[in-house]
A and B are shown apart, each in its own frame.
Chain A
Amino acid sequence: MSLLSILIFLPLFAGLIIVVLPSSVREGYKYVALAAVIIQVLISAYIYLHFNGNVFTGIADQNKYQLVERLPWISLNLGAMGKLQIDYFLGLDGLSMPFMLLTSVVMLVALLASWEIKINLKGYFALFLLLDTAILGVFSALDFFLFYIFYELMLMPLYFLIGIWGGVRREYAAIKFFLYTLFGSVFMLLVIIGLYFSVTDPATGYHTFNMLSMMDPKNYVEGSIFSALAHNELFGVSARLLGFIVLFIAFAIKVPIVPLHTWLPDAHVEAPTPVSIILAGILLKVGGYGILRVCVSIFPDAAIQSAWWLGLIGIVSIIYGALNALAQTDLKRLVAYSSISHMGFVLLGIASITPEGISGAMMQMISHGFLSSMLFFLVGIIYSRVHDREIPHFRGLALIMPKFSAFIMIAFFASLGLPGFSAFIAEAFSLIGAFNSESINGLLPRWMAVCGTLGILLSACYFLWTLQRMFFGETRLFGGEKWKIQLTDVNAREVTALCILTAFALVLGIMPSLAFDKMNASVLELIRLVNLK
């Protein structure tokens, strides 16, 4: 059992312990969970420190992955179709390794936010840890079937976490979230099966779910449905393009892109704070990671073909999300829409298929992981105090919650791309990639980059306006004196969580090389793979 498996199944194990523990020690559940997550952070930090970004470039070569673990898992005899070979296949490269660390840290923060959860603790922490396992699994799985299993496994705990511990309309939000994601993934499954029938493992000759084999056009069976040479058509569209589109939609729902984003505000508003943190901090990144790892790598030709549209969708998401955020009166909704806007940069960066753009997209995902977690954590603090988060109900919070206001200013400025914070680097790189794309590979026109810049401007608008409305001026609160007493400043636990996130945002902003060094080689390798076509 490698370090990676331990990392993945440690939370599951802790979850089982919680399930078995008697309910007389219910106050102890969170400490069990905390212990597991802290160990997880330590392991992923160890992995980060020992990851050699220049050697382990990953992408299409198994030998270039670190911590590879490959065990046969399911093998079914399918008669004439040969053998169904599914491996338990894990590994890390520059694209996935940063997310392991991100997941661990965001999970730690989410767990610190879970102190507010009061009902049904056993179920909550068990599901929380199951979710943790699933997410770590998604980021490290290299077998497409395994990837799918982990991907789907994320849904169930989230569904229950939103549905049981959520707000008033939790039932609606939970099923909407579930159906949206499942809609994408059911069709993803069909493409996976199609790919399976098209690809053979060069070593054994059997059909395989190995993602790395799928990236090599040589492994495709002659004339098979997704073979690049066969130019098959399905429903009048090139089969490979169709496969790409289906996979893209599946992940794009997660990102989310406009117009498939409508589950996100609902889910965020109804979800409890820790779940919002996980949703925004990690789950949206699963979408971006999936597009890079699966869509672009397996269907590079289709990716180039549809790059323009990807870029357009990115721009639309940036602008539409930002405009919507401007119009919100619910603070949590505002943050949710700002997430949509920021994730648009990820798509824009990926669409450019330039080293700068993809690095920027990766960086944006990481930075947004920390910053959106921070934003949702901060919103959660207000909500847990007075159970209200309407922006007009608050004014002059800076006077009664100075420390809290300081953190929110950091979070807002960092999010709107103030130099010195990670978001600046990320958005700058994405935009540079999009801008250079016309001269490097001619995929994206320059005006897209210009429109993207407009998004940064808009984000400044809504963040600063909110800051002005809620925190400056004289203290006037909807709930009057009662609220004034309830709105205590941040406590030690909250400060810990916020400081962790601030530190990450700041460090990555000042020394982006800490992240870039680890992933640069992989990004270049990915681009080399795409340009082979």
Chain B
Amino acid sequence: MSALITITILALLLLYLGLFKAKKALLPVALIGLMVALVLSLMEWDSNAAPIFSNMMLYDRFAVAFSGITIFLTILIIALSKDYFERISSNVAEYYALILFSLAGIILMVSYHNLSMLFIGIEIMSVSLYILAGIKKRDFASNEAALKYFLMGAFSTGILLFGVTLIYGASGSFDLEGIKQYILKDPTAVSPLLYTGITLLIVGLSFKVGAAPFHFWVPDVYEGSPSLISAYMSTVVKVAGFAAFLRLIMFSFAPLQDFWIPMIIGMSVLSLLIGNVTAVYQQHFKRMLAYSSISHVGYMLFAIIALNGSSDNAVFVYAAAYSVATIIAFGVLILLQGQVGNDSFDSFNGLARKNPFLALTLTIAMLSLAGIPLTAGFIGKFMMFSKALSSYHIFLVVFAALNAMIGIFYYFKVIVAMYFKEEDRKELIVPVYFKLVLGFSALVTIALGVYPDFIASLI
């Protein structure tokens, strides 16, 4: 809880720092503040947490773990922002403040105990992001991204809200516990309103996490937004959306599995198929990452399909692995775009020779995304596959395994370009902050792959 307050105050503080022209202090203050928030949030590690604020929020292990990971990822991303916003415009403080506001919304999203809090969290997060997607005012792609994101986001929020009202209509409660009690009272005779409500909620949340068939906005928005913001959206926001999704289903709707499991399976299969197959045909790294993020949602949905007590753990590990690797990828992408001005696969040619460190970290990231053993991504996939197999979804897992093969194909394009193709190129200049973030993330990826016990049994 104190993490939420810290982040909000931090955002206001940054706004004022910007007002009083203390631009040099922005990044350090943001980083320090977030670290404080991270520590504060981890200090609330308590397995017997009770709902607070009239049952509005519940800061249980799930919430602590996911707010911890989102804050952690935000720290990594903000560390990459050194000199990034300055190139776009002079309103740097506002950008930091907006990121932090959206993070505050995310904390709400992972710790809600009441559907209205979920809605408020999603809105706080989304509104900040609509602006952030469009901060490159002179760039048409960025404008398009912002508008598209806003329209799609508003649309999905509407659907979500509609779902919430229907559920309220059926159960008479916004409270997760209340809804659960209503369903448990007689799972066979719940009101048809509730089913519609669940469907709409799932649709609304799928929009937010970018699961097919509600993924249309993902490639354009991720591609058009400034890369740093894309990194934020495809990691922190996605993790938060997924955590909100999982929390809702684990908490309240678990008894109605037979109803929503077919839906989720359909979404998972579609996400895998569309994400992977389309990613193969991409010529640009950033767009490839966007499609790959859709496919990763497909894998993460496995945890919901095979819902049980350890689903949160599986999602947590997978999300952490995916996000850290994606941050590396976006970090390299930012450098490349800034200094080469292009992100096609050809622009990676010969990178290994000139920037061995960058190439190595990016390789580790790609291997992790592809799910090669001894990287965190493998542990994530392994947990997902074993979860799905434990509930005998054999077809699904075989299908996913085939998709994992397709994944190798496009993730390796980058590796091939970097290592196997020779080209005369200039060495990219890698600032210290980038070196730290990339090196640290690569280390985390390997460490989780070799010894996943660190985080795998957290929740």
A residues neighboring B (CB under 8 Å): 73-81, 84, 148-149, 152-153, 155-156, 160, 163-164, 170-171, 174-175, 178-179, 182-183, 186-187, 189-190, 193-194, 196-197, 225, 234
Cβ contact of A178, chosen from B385, B394, B397, B412, cutoff 8 A:
B412
Tell me if B420 and A163 are in contact (CB < 8 A). Answer: yes
Tell me if B457 and A76 are in contact (CB < 8 A). Answer: yes
Q: Does B374 contact A (CB under 8 A)?
A: yes
Q: Does B409 contact A (CB under 8 A)?
A: yes
Q: List 13 A-B contacts (CB under 8 A).
A: A74-B452, A76-B457, A77-B457, A78-B390, A79-B310, A79-B313, A149-B373, A163-B416, A179-B409, A182-B405, A187-B401, A190-B385, A197-B386
C-alpha spacing A194/B391, complex, angstroms? 11
Nearest residue, chain A, Cβ from B391 = A81
Cβ contact of A186, chosen from B308, B313, B405, cutoff 8 A:
B405
Q: Does B36 contact A (CB under 8 A)?
A: no
- The answer to whether A190 and B397 touch (CB under 8 A), given A81-B308, A197-B389, is yes
Cβ contact of B374, chosen from A81, A149, A179, cutoff 8 A:
A149
Given contacts A76-B313, A193-B386, 7 further A-B contacts (CB under 8 A): A79-B313, A153-B373, A182-B408, A183-B405, A193-B382, A193-B389, A197-B386
Chain A contacts for B73, CB-based, 8 A: none
Q: Does B456 contact A (CB under 8 A)?
A: yes
Tell me if B394 and A164 are in contact (CB < 8 A). Answer: no
- The answer to whether A179 and B408 touch (CB under 8 A), given A152-B373, A190-B389, A234-B394, is yes
- The answer to whether A75 and B405 touch (CB under 8 A), given A81-B308, A174-B420, A189-B382, is no
Q: How far is the CB of A72 from chain B (nearest CB, A)?
A: 9
Residue among A178, A186, A187, A234 having the largest count of chain B Cβ atoms under 10 Å: A186
C-alpha spacing A80/B307, complex, angstroms? 10
Chain A contacts for B452, CB-based, 8 A: 74, 76
Q: How far is the CB of A157 from chain B (nearest CB, A)?
A: 12
C-alpha spacing A183/B401, complex, angstroms? 9
Residue among B310, B313, B374, B420 having the largest count of chain A Cβ atoms under 10 Å: B420
Chain B contacts for A194, CB-based, 8 A: 389
Q: Does B419 contact A (CB under 8 A)?
A: yes
Nearest residue, chain A, Cβ from B312 = A79
Q: Mark B362-395, 1 if CB is under 8 A from A, else 0.
A: 0000010000111000100011011001101010
Chain A contacts for B421, CB-based, 8 A: 171
Chain B contacts for A182, CB-based, 8 A: 405, 408
Q: Does B404 contact A (CB under 8 A)?
A: yes
Nearest residue, chain B, Cβ from A78 = B310
Give the secondary structure class of B's interface: helix
C-alpha spacing A152/B412, complex, angstroms? 16
Q: Does B453 contact A (CB under 8 A)?
A: yes
C-alpha spacing A234/B395, complex, angstroms? 10
Q: Does B192 contact A (CB under 8 A)?
A: no
Cβ contact of A197, chosen from B390, B408, B453, cutoff 8 A:
B390
Q: How far is the CB of B452 from chain A (nearest CB, A)?
A: 6
Give the secondary structure class of A's interface: helix
C-alpha spacing A14/B319, complex, angstroms? 34
Tell me if A74 and B308 are in contact (CB < 8 A). Answer: no
Tell me if B309 and A80 are in contact (CB < 8 A). Answer: yes
C-alpha spacing A216/B145, complex, angstroms? 59
The 4 closest A-B pairs by CB, nearest first: A79-B309, A79-B310, A152-B373, A186-B401
Cβ contact of A156, chosen from B310, B367, B390, B398, cutoff 8 A:
B367
Nearest residue, chain B, Cβ from A156 = B372
Q: Does B216 contact A (CB under 8 A)?
A: no
Chain A contacts for B309, CB-based, 8 A: 79-80
Q: How far is the CB of B369 from chain A (nearest CB, A)?
A: 14
- The answer to whether A171 and B416 touch (CB under 8 A), given A74-B456, A75-B457, A77-B310, is yes
Q: Does B451 contact A (CB under 8 A)?
A: yes
Q: How far is the CB of B295 from chain A (nearest CB, A)?
A: 15
Nearest residue, chain B, Cβ from A160 = B419
Chain B contacts for A75, CB-based, 8 A: 453, 457
C-alpha spacing A234/B397, complex, angstroms? 13
C-alpha spacing A19/B54, complex, angstroms? 58
Chain B contacts for A81, CB-based, 8 A: 308, 310, 390
Q: How far is the CB of A197 from chain B (nearest CB, A)?
A: 6
Tell me if B416 and A175 are in contact (CB < 8 A). Answer: yes
Cβ contact of B373, chosen from A148, A193, A234, cutoff 8 A:
A148
Residue among B309, B313, B385, B419 having the largest count of chain A Cβ atoms under 10 Å: B419
Tell me if A171 and B404 are in contact (CB < 8 A). Answer: no
Nearest residue, chain B, Cβ from A246 = B398
Tell me if A152 and B372 are in contact (CB < 8 A). Answer: yes
Cβ contact of B308, chosen from A80, A152, A170, A196, cutoff 8 A:
A80
C-alpha spacing A530/B384, complex, angstroms? 34
C-alpha spacing A80/B374, complex, angstroms? 26
C-alpha spacing A266/B456, complex, angstroms? 41
